[in-house]
A and B are shown apart, each in its own frame.
Chain A
Amino acid sequence: EVQLLESGGGLVQPGGSLRLSCAGSGFTFSNYGISWVRQAPGKGLEWVSGISGSGGNTFYADSVKGRFTVSRDNPKNTLDLQMNSLRAEDTAVYYCVRWNGYGDYWGQGTLVTVSS
């Protein structure tokens, strides 16, 4: 069974940093791209960042470019999203998603709240 488990969410002040992690299981992790998709409270879905299966290619939405960095450790089947210079508008549930251009498997999400 394919599973994705996010961790690392929490409350952070504006301008602060947070590191989210995602652990994958039930599939050959290195064969798949992974994306982060977020959902602000009561709002729709926004693709944030993606990384290829090898980790050699990374992609970012304009809204987070230069502030967020995605990386992966394939031997450990894990993925990280380093979030710096956080803003109130980054407040959302962040989902780790197995990505084939679209998301075929989603984690349960982790909540990031940016507030003073």
Chain B
Amino acid sequence: EIVLTQSPGTLSLSPGERATLSCRASQSVSSNSLAWYQQRPGQPPRVLIYGASSRATGIPDRFSGSGSGTDFTLTISRLEPEDFAVYYCQQYGGSPRTFGQGTRVEIK
């Protein structure tokens, strides 16, 4: 099973700042099969990024994904008020599909 470790656990930032979230895999994720999700309180997750760097439909271009192998990054270029939420990475290169434990982005 591929274990995903996200860091930091919590990120305290102000609106307009840049957020950089990390997701590290215990073994290489084949074909860069990694997705990122955003979850706001009381809401289901929604996919932001798939294939490590492809934005999902309707996702603003301030969200970007990068990385390969075992190290992946989600960057939010300028935080908007609605971006303060919990973010999860998930790999689909191996079975079972696994999620990271999440990074909370909170208002500083």
Which A positions have Cβ atoms within 8 angstroms of B? 35, 44-47, 50, 59, 61-62, 95, 100-104, 106-109
Contacts and interface: CB of A to CB of B under 8 A. Distances in A.
Contact of A47 (B50, B56, B96): B96
26 contacts: A35-B97, A44-B99, A45-B37, A45-B90, A46-B99, A47-B90, A47-B96, A47-B97, A50-B97, A61-B96, A95-B45, A101-B35, A101-B92, A101-B97, A102-B33, A102-B35, A102-B97, A103-B37, A103-B47, A103-B90, A104-B50, A104-B56, A106-B44, A106-B46, A107-B44, A109-B44
Interface string B32-45: 01010100000011
Interface of B: 33, 35, 37, 44-47, 50, 56, 88, 90, 92, 95-102
A102 B44 contact: no
Contact of A102 (B47, B100, B101, B102): B47
Nearest to B101: A44
A105 to B, nearest CB: 8
Contacts of B46: 106
Contacts of B99: 44-47
Nearest to A102: B35
Contacts of B96: 47, 59, 61-62
Nearest to A60: B96
Contacts of A46: 99
Interface centre among A35, A50, A62, A104 (most CB of B within 10 A): A104
Contacts of B47: 102-104
B44 A108 contact: yes
Give 4 nearest A-B pairs by CB, closest first. Answer: A101-B92, A102-B35, A106-B44, A45-B99
